[in-house]
Chains A and B, each alone.
Chain A
Amino acid sequence: MWNRRENETPSTPSRREGRDENITPSRDFVAAPARAGAIHNEGLVNIGQSICIRGELTGDEDLTIEGRVEGKIDLKDHNLTIGPKGRIQAEIRAKSVIVRGEVNGNVHAGERVELAETGRVIGDIVSPRIIIADGARFKGSVDMSGKDVSSRAKQEDRTTTQAAVITDSLESGAPRATARS
């Protein structure tokens, strides 16, 4: 019993002078939320749920956004992931974009755009490859750099897009099928 009292940390600062300096907060009072702020972990930057950015966001590394961004996002040759809690009201440019949250703005990708089941995009998508999962919501136009779309698709692209179609079919539990043009 006495040991407990000695080890107890007072919930309020002591009234005695100088006592405050000796108070060591317990772990309970180091209440830094795990996702508040930008956490840098070996090249992967995560913007947390409580963060709201207004303006232009640029960078030279991959980025995951769980918070809110309003303005413009430009990642050039890197990957952008919008988490399920992410709310983006911005023009997006990146190498690849994975949307699991909400995006209100145009999305330009150099490689591909993936719209997950929980994703929602209101805006135009410009990308050579697009994967849209069943359940995703989308309002806008799709541009696959189609100057000559019917003949543009090489064997690798056809393989990837058919894989995307098959993935959708498997997710819905339906028999496999391919989209034959």
Chain B
Amino acid sequence: MTWWQKLVSSQSVSEQGQDENVHYGRALKELTGRLKKVGHPRLLDLGLTCGANIEFFIRLGCKVHVDDYATSLMGRPQQIAAQAKSPVSENSFSPRKKKTAGPLVNIPPVDYEEGIFQAVLCWDLFDYLSGPEAAVLAAEINRVTSAGGYLLALFGPAQNTSRRRPRRFRILDDKSVRAETLAGPDYIPHHLANRDIARLFAEYEMGHTVLLKDGTREMLLRKRRRPEQRLREPRMVSLV
């Protein structure tokens, strides 16, 4: 170990305990453990481009695809508050129904073929989306994820409705992630209740759910191999 590696490692141990922006979620650790068992899995990162995250998953043996989808979403004009409050109905989440009544949905497609990814990271993307928009993105994620594939996502807390800036999530190690606030346009985060998430990902089963200190829910979901099974409402399994 070189001298600067010793310096950095000693600093990181002490600073992680003081950094409020670092969260220790088990969902990421669970995901990395599962991916190690898959031979050369394909992973899609839909969050803001982060070199550290790419390197992390490449070291796991993944073939990493990056879409920078978050930047595309942030570039859209902020939706009207009325749309943000639009109810999440049963029809909104049916991936086969292309017609969605209500406000116009402006979500770019995920430009990949069906079922090619064994894991998808969408971080806090759903915080940027209203109900109908979330349904469209969820359908896209479902389409490109293979049967048995995983989805790692963060869903904001219900009590946090104040405007905030976008965040980049940087993986520090297999269980700790740092949220970095960026200098960009503020947005009003949208809240998805657990029952809404269950409807969005009806073809998924809950692998792991972690409730973080700030109320954010870190979830690891797995796409069923039998799509006709319905998903029960997710239950919290741990409190961090």
* A134 and B168 form a contact (CB under 8 A): yes
The segment from A12-20, A52-60, A85-93, A137-145 found at the interface with B is A137-145
Residues on B with C-beta less than 8 A from A136 are 49, 51
For A152, the closest partner residue in chain B by CB is B59
Q: Is A102 interfacial (CB-CB < 8 Å)?
A: no
Residues on B with C-beta less than 8 A from A174 are 170, 178, 180
A139-B67 CB under 8 A given contacts A131-B51, A132-B50, A175-B15: yes
B172 vs chain A, min Cβ distance (A) = 5
Q: Is B186 interfacial (CB-CB < 8 Å)?
A: no
- Tell me, in angstroms, the Cα distance from A164 to B12 when the chains sit together: 16
Residues on A with C-beta less than 8 A from B197 are none
Residues on B with C-beta less than 8 A from A44 are none
B237 vs chain A, min Cβ distance (A) = 26
Q: Is A25 interfacial (CB-CB < 8 Å)?
A: no
Interface residues as binary, A136-168 with B (CB distance below 8 Å gives 1, 0 otherwise)? 111111111010111001000001011011101
* B49 and A132 form a contact (CB under 8 A): yes
- Tell me, in angstroms, the Cα distance from A178 to B172 when the chains sit together: 6
- Tell me, in angstroms, the Cα distance from A178 to B5 when the chains sit together: 9
Residues on B with C-beta less than 8 A from A132 are 49-51, 54
- Tell me, in angstroms, the Cα distance from A149 to B39 when the chains sit together: 12
- Tell me, in angstroms, the Cα distance from A148 to B64 when the chains sit together: 14
* B51 and A177 form a contact (CB under 8 A): no
Interface residues as binary, B30-49 with A (CB distance below 8 Å gives 1, 0 otherwise)? 00000000000000000001
For A167, the closest partner residue in chain B by CB is B51
Residues on A with C-beta less than 8 A from B178 are 174, 177
Identify the interface centre among A115, A138, A169, A172: most chain B CB within 10 Å of its CB: A138
* B12 and A140 form a contact (CB under 8 A): no
Residues on B with C-beta less than 8 A from A169 are 52, 170
Prevailing SS type, chain A contact patch: mixed
* A179 and B64 form a contact (CB under 8 A): no
Interface residues as binary, B51-82 with A (CB distance below 8 Å gives 1, 0 otherwise)? 11011101111011111100100000000000
Counted as pairs of residues, one from A and one from B, with CB atoms less than 8 Å apart, the total is 106
Which residue from B50, B51, B170, B180 sits with its C-beta under 8 Å from A130? B51
Residues on A with C-beta less than 8 A from B19 are 175
- Tell me, in angstroms, the Cα distance from A181 to B58 when the chains sit together: 10
For B54, the closest partner residue in chain A by CB is A142
Residues on A with C-beta less than 8 A from B63 are 141-143, 146
Total B residues in contact with A, Cβ cutoff 8 Å: 35
Q: Is B159 interfacial (CB-CB < 8 Å)?
A: no
Residues on B with C-beta less than 8 A from A165 are 51-52, 55
Q: Is A180 interfacial (CB-CB < 8 Å)?
A: yes
B2 vs chain A, min Cβ distance (A) = 6
Residues on A with C-beta less than 8 A from B172 are 177-180
Q: Is B9 interfacial (CB-CB < 8 Å)?
A: yes
* A150 and B60 form a contact (CB under 8 A): yes
Q: Is B162 interfacial (CB-CB < 8 Å)?
A: no
- Tell me, in angstroms, the Cα distance from A176 to B67 when the chains sit together: 26
Interface residues of B (CB under 8 A from A): 2, 5, 8-9, 11-12, 15-16, 19, 49-52, 54-56, 58-61, 63-68, 71, 168, 170-174, 178, 180
Q: What are 19 of the A-B contact pairs (CB < 8 Å)?
A: A130-B54, A132-B51, A137-B68, A140-B65, A140-B66, A141-B64, A142-B65, A150-B61, A164-B55, A165-B51, A165-B52, A166-B8, A174-B170, A177-B15, A178-B8, A179-B55, A179-B56, A180-B174, A181-B174
- Told that A164-B51, A177-B178, A181-B173 touch, could you supply 9 new A-B pairs with CB distance under 8 A? A115-B51, A130-B55, A139-B67, A139-B68, A141-B65, A146-B63, A164-B55, A177-B16, A178-B8
